[in-house]
């Protein structure tokens, strides 16, 4: 759960990076950073908090240079500390270098243990630093060192590297996380989502392909594909929940995909009797619109989200998250009283937030609640960078659909089928997705987590793996 951004050879590189990161803020709110390069040196500023809290005009003016990379972070490995904030900046035999990483490696602990045995000293607890150490151990041109390092890691990565001479973008062979290439004038732009390109008025060129490495040097762009091709495993959850609705990722507009997911859900629930369709804002809005299109049941914004809940309440602890849920959503009693409603959301993780919502709906006098989820039950954790909790905390991992229905106190509970979700999301390529959190079928080896899982099941979080969703 991170966002990355880069721009080459532009006179306002720090300002545009700041804007780009702002448009990726939904991908991470714990820390933000920008690194620029000028006359053989790197200039960095990273800090804890939102982009608007980390960067001021004055500060941006100190980030000299025409090329930059930036990062917003939401930790999936490594604790929420400044030392783990990215971009990470380091110096090795290749000179100064910065790295920004979106995704999660699945063999980082294994590789780290081997490196530490050989004397490597790590500064942070992020999986991304493993890549830094691997690069430092390879001689020769920096892109060869990067390629050789990436051959040794498993899992999900969309990466940006900055050196005084080059900007290098890399996407893992499975293409778990999105990475978009754009252009503004003669400058190249890379971003996790098109929302960051749109805000700076850059044109979308294309997606960086799975397994592709793009090198920008001296204003010219080169592409290499050094890895053996594999079947892509794009994260379907990016489209279901995580990416911004105005972004286009994996070849489709996210809002349109979510609306199609809602349409598919309505077709699967044909015959449901209800007076209104109510989304859980903001996550269920697009799917509820699609559901209403097909079912012809009127759409009503009968839950109102407060956008003024202090950031104090979105800190990543379960207790604060639960408090925030109560403060954030208010039922519109006049619209809901005595009604039969279809309540739409994109997913149920622990079930605790949904339970609070249904409780407040009952208190508002709703007669029947038919809960409809625009994805299948989440039964297994994500190890590729979306922050789901460990298996034991996922309600669908330990309870049947009817047990969940009873827990949520709803009259009926419907999940979109896997086939329905892939067809709606896939637009011609339903095969090219990762669905591991719904199916337990992981597209890559997960050595770090295979050993960590017994500890997780007994209530131990494992090595600094946080559950923040």
Is there binding between residue 434 and ligand SF4 (CB under 6 A)? yes
Name residues contacting ligand SF4, limited to 369-398 (CB under 6 A).
382, 384, 386
Is there binding between residue 237 and ligand SF4 (CB under 6 A)? yes
Closest to 280 (Cα-Cα) out of 304, 257, 258:
304
Separation CA 197–CA 214 (nearest Å): 18
Name residues contacting ligand SF4, limited to 167-206 (CB under 6 A).
176
Tokens of 429: 């390529």
Is there binding between residue 249 and ligand SF4 (CB under 6 A)? no
Is there binding between residue 421 and ligand SF4 (CB under 6 A)? no
Is there binding between residue 1 and ligand SF4 (CB under 6 A)? no
The answer to whether the bond into 87 is cis (omega within 30° of 0) is: yes
Is there binding between residue 436 and ligand SF4 (CB under 6 A)? yes
- CA 92 vs CA 96, 245, 285: distances in Å: 7, 40, 48
Backbone angles phi, psi at 161, to 5 degrees: -120, 140
Separation CA 227–CA 224 (nearest Å): 9
Of the pair 5, 384, the CB lying nearest ligand SF4 is at 384
Is there binding between residue 250 and ligand SF4 (CB under 6 A)? no
Of the pair 275, 345, the CB lying nearest ligand SF4 is at 345
Of the pair 132, 469, the CB lying nearest ligand SF4 is at 469
Q: Is 2 a catalytic residue?
A: yes
- Shortest distance in whole angstroms from residue 426 CB to ligand SF4: 13
Of the pair 98, 396, the CB lying nearest ligand SF4 is at 396
End-to-end CA distance of the chain: 10
Backbone angles phi, psi at 124, to 5 degrees: -130, 175
Separation CA 273–CA 269 (nearest Å): 10
Tokens 């609306």 -> residue? 259
- Shortest distance in whole angstroms from residue 252 CB to ligand SF4: 16
Of the pair 237, 415, the CB lying nearest ligand SF4 is at 237
Q: Which stretch binds ligand SF4 (CB under 6 A): 6-14, 342-350, 409-417, 430-438?
A: 430-438
- Shortest distance in whole angstroms from residue 457 CB to ligand SF4: 18
b/e map of 326-353 (b: 16 or more CB within 10 Å)?
eebbebeeebbeebbbbbbbbbbbbbeb
Residue 205-234 contact track with ligand SF4, rule CB under 6 A, x = bound: ------------------------------
Tokens 């293409």 -> residue? 175
Is there binding between residue 104 and ligand SF4 (CB under 6 A)? no
Is there binding between residue 437 and ligand SF4 (CB under 6 A)? yes
Catalytic residue (choose from 2, 382, 434, 437):
2
Is there binding between residue 236 and ligand SF4 (CB under 6 A)? yes
Closest to 382 (Cα-Cα) out of 341, 340, 437:
437
- How many binding residues for ligand SF4 (CB under 6 A)? 11
Separation CA 121–CA 117 (nearest Å): 10
| Binder of ligand SF4 out of 435, 444, 466, 467 (CB under 6 A) | 435
Backbone angles phi, psi at 348, to 5 degrees: -125, 125
Tell me if 9 sits within 8 A of 221, measured CB to CB. Answer: no
State which H helix or E strand residue 248 sits in. Answer: strand 248-249
Contacting residues for 114 by C-beta, under 8 A, at least 6 apart: none
Of the pair 17, 106, the CB lying nearest ligand SF4 is at 106
Of the pair 237, 449, the CB lying nearest ligand SF4 is at 237
Is there binding between residue 468 and ligand SF4 (CB under 6 A)? no
Is there binding between residue 74 and ligand SF4 (CB under 6 A)? no
- Side by side, which strands form the sheet with 340-345? 276-279, 340-345, 368-373, 412-415
Q: Report, as residue numbers or ranges, the catalytic residues.
A: 2
Chain residues binding ligand SF4 by CB under 6 A are: 176, 235-237, 382, 384, 386, 434-437
């Amino acid at each position: 759960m991170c966002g990355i951004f880069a721009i080459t050879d532009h006179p306002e590189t720090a300002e545009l990076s700041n804007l780009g990161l702002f448009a990726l803020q939904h991908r991470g709110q714990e820390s933000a950073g920008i690194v620029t390069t000028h006359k053989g040196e790197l200039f960095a500023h990273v800090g804890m908090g939102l982009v608007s809290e980390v960067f001021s005009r004055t500060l941006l003016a100190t980030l000299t240079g025409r090329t930059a990379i930036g990062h917003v972070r939401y930790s999936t490995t490594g604790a929420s500390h400044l030392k783990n904030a990215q971009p990470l900046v380091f110096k090795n035999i290749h000179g100064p270098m910065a790295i920004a990483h979106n995704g999660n490696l699945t063999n980082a602990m294994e590789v780290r243990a081997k490196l530490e045995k050989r004397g490597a000293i790590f500064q942070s607890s992020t999986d991304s630093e493993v890549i830094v150490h691997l690069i430092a151990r390879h001689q020769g041109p920096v892109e060869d060192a990067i390629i050789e390092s990436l051959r040794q890691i498993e899992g999900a990565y969309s990466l940006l590297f900055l050196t005084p001479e080059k900007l290098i973008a890399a996407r893992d062979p499975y293409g778990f996380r999105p990475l978009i290439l754009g252009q503004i004038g003669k400058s190249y732009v890379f971003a996790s989502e098109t929302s960051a390109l749109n805000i700076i008025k850059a044109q979308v060129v294309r997606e960086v392909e799975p397994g592709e490495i793009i090198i920008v040097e001296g204003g010219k762009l080169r592409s290499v594909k050094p890895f053996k091709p594999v079947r892509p495993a794009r994260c379907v959850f990016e489209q279901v929940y995580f990416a911004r609705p105005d972004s286009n990722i994996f070849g489709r507009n996210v809002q349109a995909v979510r609306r199609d997911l809602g349409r598919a859900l309505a077709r699967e629930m044909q015959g449901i009797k209800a007076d209104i369709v109510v989304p859980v804002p903001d996550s269920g809005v697009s799917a509820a619109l699609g559901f209403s299109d097909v079912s012809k049941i009127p759409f009503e914004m009968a839950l109102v989200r407060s956008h003024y809940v202090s950031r104090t309440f979105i800190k990543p602890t379960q207790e604060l998250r639960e408090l925030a849920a109560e403060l954030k959503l208010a039922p519109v009693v006049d619209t809901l009283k005595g009604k039969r409603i279809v309540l739409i959301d994109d997913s149920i993780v622990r079930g605790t937030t949904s339970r609070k919502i249904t409780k407040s709906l009952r208190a508002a006098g709703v007669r029947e609640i038919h809960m409809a989820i625009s994805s299948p039950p989440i039964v297994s954790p994500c190890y590729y960078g979306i922050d789901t909790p460990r298996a034991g905390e996922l309600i669908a991992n330990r309870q049947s659909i009817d047990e969940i229905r009873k827990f949520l106190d709803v009259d009926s509970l419907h999940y979109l089928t896997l086939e329905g979700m892939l067809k709606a999301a896939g637009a011609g390529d339903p095969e090219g997705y990762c669905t591991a959190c719904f199916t337990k079928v992981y597209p890559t080896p997960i050595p770090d987590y295979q050993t960590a899982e017994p500890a997780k099941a007994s209530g131990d979080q494992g090595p600094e793996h946080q559950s923040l969703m």
